[in-house]
Amino acid sequence: MNMKNKSKKEMTHFGFQNVYKDKKTSLVSNIFHAVASQYDLMNDLMSFGIHRMWKQFMIYRSEVYVGCTVLDLAGGTGDLSIQFSRLVGNTGIVVLADINDSMLHIGQKKLRNLGILNNVIYIQADAEALPFSENTFDCVAVSFGLRNFTNKEQALFSMHRVLKPRGKLLILDFGVPTFKVLHKIYDLYSFHILPKIGKCITQDINSYRYLVESIRMHPDQETLKNMIIRTGFNNVEYFNMTFGIAVLHCAYKC
């Protein structure tokens, strides 16, 4: 392989920038270290609180019940883990996993303040190389995390490996709006208003500019569906929410 082809293969996107793949993880990590303390507040402000309804629909579609073992991957500050812990009960386990220790620390503190102590464990882990045995989890859920992974297909293979047969995959992330008339309004809000909100609240405009750019670089609904199918999942379907601004993909391991 000549150096030109090698360099091209090793590049990936970080927002709208091209960076070497082995650098992206640390760049993304720095972003989330910077925003961790205000992450929940910013989610509420940026989405007008609608993200909570998106996540509630994800929980509704999860098919998780008492005794299940659930992986909340890239779970950050633990919004999903709070809900899953109530569903699995005292006989189930929720693993809240995130590669970023700042986010994980805030999630752990939040859950403990809510009295959630016995059925949630916390693990710092890379989604592309999950440190769990095959066929461990009944459900793997990723909420607004997939677009930040360096190698999305490798992460999907890793999720497939740790799911039990007939286990369920749930991926909630941003999508492409279903109505073209929304695109300009969405772009105006995303590129001109959201970063300014981030600057006012966190004094950090660059992190929120990256987050907006990462949404635009994320695969659209059909592309992500096909990617999930290629990594071995079946019965893949997706649900557009808020006119496709957010999308829930669901799939099963055979």
194-225 tens-digit pLDDT: 777 777 777 777 777 787 888 888 999 999 99
Q: Is the pLDDT of residue 15 over 50?
A: yes
What is the structure's pLDDT at 3? 40
The answer to whether position 161 is within a domain reads: yes
Q: Given the DSSP bridges, would you call strands 246-252 and 163-174 parallel, antiparallel or unpaired?
A: antiparallel
Q: Read off the tokens for 194.
A: 């959201």
Domain of 244?
32-178+210-252
For residue 97, give the amino acid letter: A
Using the predicted structure, report yes or no on whether residue 2 has a pLDDT greater than 50: no
> For the segment 141-176, what is each residue's pLDDT rounded down to a tens digit?
999 999 999 999 999 999 999 999 999 999 999 999
pTM of the model: 0.88
Give the β-pairing of 120-124 and 93-98: parallel
Give domain status of residue 20, yes or no: no
Residue 218 lies in a domain: yes
CA separation for the pair 83, 217 (Å, rounded): 29
| 39 located within any domain | yes
Six-digit token string for 47: 């989405």
Q: What's the pLDDT score for residue 9?
A: 55
Tell me the residue length of the chain: 254
Pick from 12-26, 65-79, 112-126: least confident: 12-26
Instruction: Assign residue 111 the CATH number of its domain.
Output: 3.40.50.150
Average pLDDT, stretch 224-232? 98
What residues have CB less than 8 Å from 246, skipping those under 6 apart? 50, 51, 54, 172, 173, 174, 175, 240
Question: Does 190 reside within a domain?
Answer: no
Q: What is the pLDDT of residue 32?
A: 77
Report the 10 Å Cβ neighbour count for 191: 13
Written as six digits, the tokens of 63 are 């098919």
The total of structural domains in the chain comes to 1
User: What pLDDT band is residue 36 in, cutting at 50, 70 and 90?
Assistant: confident
Task: Tell me what the pLDDT averaged over the chain comes to.
Answer: 89
**In-domain check, residue 191:** no
DSSP lists the bridge partners of residue 241 as 246
DSSP state of 151: -
* 95 within some domain: yes
Residue 143's nearest CA partner among 111, 177, 108, 169 is 169
Judge whether 156 lies within some domain.
Answer: yes
